[in-house]
Amino acid sequence: MFVDTHAHLFYPDFAPDWDEMLGRARADGVDRFVVVGTDASTSRAAIELCSGRERFHPTAGVHPHEAASFDEAARADIEAMCRLPGVVGVGESGLDWFKEFSPRAAQLEAFRWHCDLSRKLDKALVVHCRDAFEECFATIEASGARRGVFHCFTGGVDEARRALELGFHVSFSGVATYPKNEALRAAARFVPADRLLLETDCPYLPPQGARGRRNEPSLLRRTAECVAKERGVALEELARTSTSAACALFGLE
């Protein structure tokens, strides 16, 4: 069975067919979920969704797109949520130089704050990095944060090596299945089994063959099949190692 280590299951997209969606996930071997917040309201939604649900685990944080509005009240709110015992990660946070919905200076300030909180609480830092690897690496290194994951990884072997050197895990999404992403598949072959995670980032980024549709946890299996083939291992072996890696990073039983 697999862990979907990055899912936004609080989105309204999932409400109409929630039970059926979960049934499809479990039928395809996905039975545990890290539900990731992207601002104060969605972090609360993630916590509420996971409350009372076995094998659902929330995070709390502010996405770089929202960094411009990350004021003192929002910081206090996010920190209080991250301190809750059931919250397994800080973020997602990071840097996005591709869309730049928030100014770079605001993104850097917010990311530094999340890095410091991750280190202080010893909880996994969930990193969003798009077209900003060097700046992400430098910020993490300066902060002393040494526990986290580059989610929806889009780099190659060099970037994966840098992430590993910082002590971080590397997570692969449906993007790894896209035909042009050979450098990303090379990274999937390179990352050690005990640092490799799998995710959907649903409802975004469905794998090849499902593009244009809503992504959902059952489609993690397609990414897993791609990664297992690239690594030359059985799907069952990848399920075992990636689940073990997810449990170690997020402190799951």
Q: Looking at residue 253, what is its pLDDT?
A: 86
Q: What is the mean pLDDT of the chain?
A: 98
Q: In what order do the strands lie in the sheet with 124-130?
A: 2-7, 30-35, 56-60, 89-96, 124-130, 148-150, 169-172, 196-198
Summarize pLDDT for 47-97 with one digit per residue, the tens.
999 999 999 999 999 999 999 999 999 999 999 999 999 999 999 999 999
Quick one: average pLDDT of 22-37? Answer: 98
Provide the pLDDT for residue 235: 98
Q: How far apart are CA 23 and CA 199, in angstroms?
A: 18
Flag whether pLDDT at 137 surpasses 90. Answer: yes
In the chain the first and final C-alpha atoms are separated, in Å, by 14
Class of domain 2-250: alpha beta
Predicted pLDDT at 74: 96
Residue extents of the structural domains in the chain: 2-250
DSSP assignments along the chain, one per residue: -EEEEEE-TTSGGGGGGHHHHHHHHHHTTEEEEEE--SSHHHHHHHHHHHTT-TTEEEEE---GGGGGG--HHHHHHHHHHHTSTT--EEEEEEEETTT-SS-HHHHHHHHHHHHHHHHHHT-EEEEEEES-HHHHHHHHHHHT---EEETT----HHHHHHHHHTT-EEEE-GGGGSTT-HHHHHHHHHS-GGGEEE---BTS-PPTTSTTS---GGGHHHHHHHHHHHHT--HHHHHHHHHHHHHHHHT--
Question: Is 163's pLDDT higher than 90?
Answer: yes
pTM of the shown model: 0.97
Q: Average of pLDDT values for 181-203? A: 98
110 pLDDT band, cuts 50/70/90, is very high
Q: How many residues does the chain have?
A: 253
pLDDT digits (tens, 9 = 90+) for 205-230: 999 999 999 999 999 999 999 999 99
